[in-house]
Amino acid sequence: MWVPSTAFFLPDEIQDRIGERITGLAVLDLAEARARITLVCPDGVVRHNALDHPVYPKLVVARARLRRPVS
């Protein structure tokens, strides 16, 4: 199961888009014969670009190197 991040997202340049990018949480309700998943995006949740974190610029450089054509 793929669930949303609670705070951060990676932009399309770094991670291929596999659906809508939301920030929130998933609530998994298990009952005897069923499972129900509800995506919750509370008001006021702030989405942070992971590349703004001081560690992630190194990831950007590494990803750019991987995308260069081999000569």
**Per-residue pLDDT tens for 5-35?**
777 877 777 778 877 777 888 899 999 899 9
* 20, part of any domain: yes
Distances in whole angstroms, Cα of residue 43 to Cα of each of 7, 39, 46: 13, 13, 9
* 2, part of any domain: no
* 13, part of any domain: yes
Considering 1-5, 13-17, 51-55, the range whose residues carry the highest mean pLDDT is 13-17
* 3, part of any domain: no
Structural domain range at position 19: 8-67
Which of the two residues, 43 and 11, has the higher pLDDT score?
Answer: 43
Q: Model-level pTM? A: 0.51
